[in-house]
Structure 1
Amino acid sequence: MTRTQKTVFILAAVIAVILGLTINKVLSSKGQGDPTALIDAGIILLPQSRNLPDVKMTDQDGQPVAMDGLKDKWSLLFFGYTFCPDICPTTLAQLRQIKSELPPEAVDKLQIVLVSVDPNRDTPKQLKQYLGYFDPQFKGLTAASVEDLQKLANAVSIPFIPADTSKPNYTVDHSGNLAVIGPDGTQRGFIRAPLNNQKLVAQLPEMLKHK
């Protein structure tokens, strides 16, 4: 990772900490209960929801998906790619384990979505095969261009650094954080990396109770 890339991720980490402290204060002042347990589990809820950009995506079945129409369930968006050597398989394995330990009523309200940051290689077929190794119910999304992906990633404050696709076996620098999308199709918050399985199993059902 270059010095510039390291700087970007350090700044992102600092912003996340500041954001967490600010939201903690806002939620406490609104009398919405003690958010300490959620924050301790890495779940940061926004004081105001954010609309998603109208970016056209394609799912693992080759079907078009409008991001601003992602509704009905809570969604955890993870920005990664199928050729990722480390953070992606680890995170997806953790999400599979967390899902397996959640109560059935929580599982029914939740979906896991891998948003590919590598549209050059991640075709719908590749996404479907890869996600099948973890959980066939996990969803995969890809876009026609890196620009569309960056528009979405920047909107939910989980940026990534596009790869130099001319290099063989290239990798893509990206965050391990998750974007939390509510059933109304707006961003409700974040889940910070690294994921804590035990705490998330305990607190995700509490998050899903929010309207």
Structure 2
Amino acid sequence: MFRNIILALIAIVAVVSGVMLYQMQQQSAEPSHALVYPQPRTLSDFNLTDQFGEKVDRERLYGQWTLAFVGYTYCPDICPLTLAKLAGVQPELAAMVEQPLKIWFVSVDPNRDTVPQLNNYVNYFAQPAVIGMTAGHDQLFPFVRQLGLMYAIGNTTEPNYAVDHSASIVLINPQGQLVAMFKPPLQVGELPVVSSEQLMADFPLVLKKLNQA
């Protein structure tokens, strides 16, 4: 009888300890490939044009979560892979937040990425939440810079010139503030593209840290 009571107590303590350990691990869990800014960064106003020829400014960010990254439609690898991954996981990510979740593809190659070109490119991914946009470099450069991203264009006299650009994805909250950045893993011999699985794992941890701030 006494032995059974001791065994029962040991089992209860083990269960309680396991639950407490799990809760502690959950509370201390950190996103492995995402940076959450200590303070939200308010974005200055900007003036872009979307794939439908409509104006895009800071007000378009209000009332929604936005995942944004920069690239160009003639990009041979990083851009189509990133867009495909984002378009694929958008429904799952959107289910984690109350407000709508949009994906902004900001083209930093306005010379070639006209409104019709952007529209055709974005429609290929068959995800209504994905919106393409661009502008002149006078608008693009300061906007991209305040996102914490970068781009550089080399010799544009060649028809198939390349554009260097960041591969990270930034998260903007419904107040139009920059709050986090998702970074691709950097591995020798592999393209720096954000992993769908890692994004799915890190996104709820980022939201949790933002709610605790």
Task: Tell me how large the CA RMSD over aligned residues is.
Answer: 2.1
**Whole-angstrom distance in 1 between the partners of 2:68 and 2:94:** 20
Distance verdict in 2 for CA 1:108–1:205, change over 3 Å: farther
Q: TM-score, normalised by structure 1?
A: 0.75
Q: Does residue 193 of structure 2 align to residue 199 of structure 1?
A: no
Please say if residues 36 and 180 of structure 2, whose CA atoms lie closer than 8 Å, have aligned partners that are also in contact.
Answer: yes
**Whole-angstrom distance in 2 between the partners of 1:207 and 1:189:** 8
Shift of 1:69: 4.8
What SS class does the counterpart of residue 198 from structure 1 fall into?
helix
Q: 1:91 maps to what in 2? A: 82
Shift of 1:147: 2.6
What SS class does the counterpart of residue 187 from structure 1 fall into?
strand
Distance verdict in 2 for CA 1:203–1:80, change over 3 Å: same
Q: Does residue 76 of structure 2 align to residue 77 of structure 1?
A: no
Shift of 1:110: 1.4
What SS class does the counterpart of residue 113 from structure 1 fall into?
strand
Shift of 1:45: 0.8
Q: Does residue 127 of structure 2 align to residue 140 of structure 1?
A: no
**Whole-angstrom distance in 2 between the partners of 1:128 and 1:106:** 27
Q: 1:185 maps to what in 2? A: 176
**Whole-angstrom distance in 2 between the partners of 1:142 and 1:107:** 28
Distance verdict in 2 for CA 1:132–1:69, change over 3 Å: closer
Please say if residues 74 and 208 of structure 1, whose CA atoms lie closer than 8 Å, have aligned partners that are also in contact.
Answer: no
Please say if residues 160 and 175 of structure 1, whose CA atoms lie closer than 8 Å, have aligned partners that are also in contact.
Answer: yes
Q: 1:159 maps to what in 2? A: 150
Q: Deviations over 1:123-179 (max 9, x none)?
A: 122111101111233011111x21321101111210111343222111100111012
**Whole-angstrom distance in 1 between the partners of 2:155 and 2:43:** 27
Q: Which is further off, 100-109 or 174-183? A: 100-109
Q: 1:34 maps to what in 2? A: 28
Structure 1 runs not aligned, ≥5 long: 1-32
Q: 1:12 maps to what in 2? A: none
Structure 2 runs not aligned, ≥5 long: 1-26, 185-192
Please say if residues 82 and 130 of structure 1, whose CA atoms lie closer than 8 Å, have aligned partners that are also in contact.
Answer: yes
Number of residue pairs matched by the alignment: 175
**Whole-angstrom distance in 2 between the partners of 1:187 and 1:206:** 16
**Whole-angstrom distance in 1 between the partners of 2:101 and 2:207:** 8
